[in-house]
Structure 1
Amino acid sequence: MDESTSGPGRLTPAGFHRAPGVSDWRVTGTGPQAVFTATSLSHAAELVRPVALAADRCGVLPDIDVRPEGVVVRIPIRDPEGIPEGAAAFAAAVSEAAAELRLIAAPSRVQSIGIYVAQHSGADARPFFRAALGYEDLGDTDAVDPLRCGPPLAFNPISGDVPARGRTHFDVFVPADQARARVDAALAAGGRLADDSHAPAWWSLASPDNHGVDIASWTDTSD
């Protein structure tokens, strides 16, 4: 198998980044993403039609978030096999259209946030959260907003933990070239470094009152 692929018709993050024309894009926990700043809501909305045309041409199903400050374009990873093969050509076409519209790429503003629910090994909290949030199952351990507006949830057991004690922390996926700065900013704001043994893939931080946040960049570099 080509090292740029993770399965039939799929790309790895590193393979995606090796494609031409995707320098505006970064890969987060929910897939490739780009942010383009705009001067107004109508300016940002001008990118919608080129995105739709490129999506049809490349066979991908993107999400578009239009705001007065700019537009966010995401290529959701809809199965565990990896990034759709057409994503690279789609991303390049969107970047070209954005440049023509004078929408400014802002890779440092790319991020996605996930919530990691750690539970006792004998518990299964996923049905409760799925029902309470109106989410759907994804794979064996996750749950997602069917419209992908809310953060994805991951459920993983802790062996030997105390029963009836819930633990939850945030996963913040950022571009690999922004991760260290994000960690430093969180530490300067009163956070504590709990574990850096997996850096630069991710850093585990704790807030002043010991809430957990992982700053993760591995999704932007894995091959």
Structure 2
Amino acid sequence: MTILGTRQILDADLRDWRKLARALHARFLTGNFSTGLALVAAIGELAEEMDHHPDVVLTYPHVDVKLLSHDASGITERDVRLARAISELASAHGIAADPAAPAVVELALDTADPTAIGPFWAALLTGDSGAVDGDDVVDPSGRVPLLWFQHTDAHETPRQRFHIDLWVPHDAADARIAAAVAAGGTVVDATRAPSFTVLADAEGNRACICTTLDR
């Protein structure tokens, strides 16, 4: 299977869906639990018919759906087809989507030697010291955010420098940045926007607003 790039996904015009980090995400505004449960059941039947199974989270006011071809480690045409089918299903039930709502949080930790500390963080976060994929600590069950190691220079004095990466829809990034600035933050570095923009709070703690554009 061929992994689709960001431009191919944008050209597919999936009105309800946005690519965040590695997967397609959508939020459907069901408004109550029983409507959400019915939508989840319908998505389940559709997934069985298409032999492709999304991650689905049911809450009282909405249903979140995530699509990724795990065997290809990316988004493929199979995900695009299922995304369209789920959107058509939701529309038939009179359920609207909120494309600006999905978000994914990742943690980044500076280190000069990911192989030395990776097993520790994998064991701490997931209970499995082998849950390391390259520079990432990955929890297959999705209980904790992905942790990735940002390569830095070697240093003798122990230090700890985390920052948060927040993935948002590409067409919602400007509004999120503006909201953070209005709440007392500052833009530290926008030279790599719209790929990512570095912001800081009033004490200098940093975070990145990330999108899939220009990657």
Question: Could you tell me the TM-score, scaled by structure 2's length?
Answer: 0.89
Secondary structure, in 3 states, of the residue corresponding to 2:56?
strand
> CA shift at 1:206, angstroms?
1.3
Q: Does 1:133 align with 2:135?
A: no
Amino acid in the other structure paired with 1:95: S
Q: Distance in 2 between matches of 1:77 and 1:222?
A: 22
**Unmatched 5+ stretches in structure 2:** none
Per-residue Cα deviation, 1:107-153 (whole angstroms, up to 9, x for no partner): 01011111111123487322121111116635211012221132111
Check whether the contact 2:69–2:79 (CA below 8 A) recurs between aligned residues.
no
Aligned to 1:172: 166
Q: Deviations over 1:148-193 (max 9, x none)?
A: 1321111122125564111111110111111011111111111121
SS at match of 1:11: coil
Measured in 1, the distance between the counterparts of 2:205 and 2:214 equals 27
Tell me the equivalent position of 2:23.
Answer: 31
State the secondary structure of the residue aligned to 1:126: helix
Summarize the alignment of residues 145-184 of structure 1 with structure 2, pairs less than 5 Å apart: 145-161=139-155, 163-184=157-178
What are the superposed Cα offsets for residues 53-100 of structure 1, whole Å, 9 maximum, x if unpaired?
332333433100100110000013636752132001100010011111
Residue 58 to residue 12, structure 1, CA distance change in 2 (3 Å): farther
Tell me the equivalent position of 1:58: 50
Matched residue count: 213
Tell me the amino acid that sits aligned with residue 21 of structure 2.
G
Aligned AA for 2:10?
H
Matches within 5 A, 1:82-161: 82-121=74-113, 124-134=116-126, 137-161=131-155
In structure 1, the partner of 2:12 is 19
RMSD: 2.2
**Cα distance in 1, alignment partners of residues 7 and 127 from structure 2:** 30
- CA distance in 1 between partners of 2:200 and 2:156 (Å): 20
How far apart, CA to CA, are the structure 2 residues paired with 1:191 and 1:79?
A: 40
Shift of 1:47: 1.3
Answer yes or no: is the 8 Å Cα contact 1:126–1:143 preserved in 2.
yes
Partner residue, 2:3: 10
Quote the residue 2:209 is aligned against: 215
Distance 1:127 1:170, change over 3 A: same
The TM-score normalised by the length of structure 1 is 0.86
Percent identity of paired positions between Structure 1 and Structure 2: 28
Shift of 1:51: 1.7
Instruction: Assess, with a 3 A threshold, how the Cα gap between structure 1 residues 122 and 143 changes in structure 2: closer, same or farther.
Output: closer
Q: Which shifted more, 89-98 or 192-201?
A: 192-201
Helix, strand or coil: the match of 1:47? helix
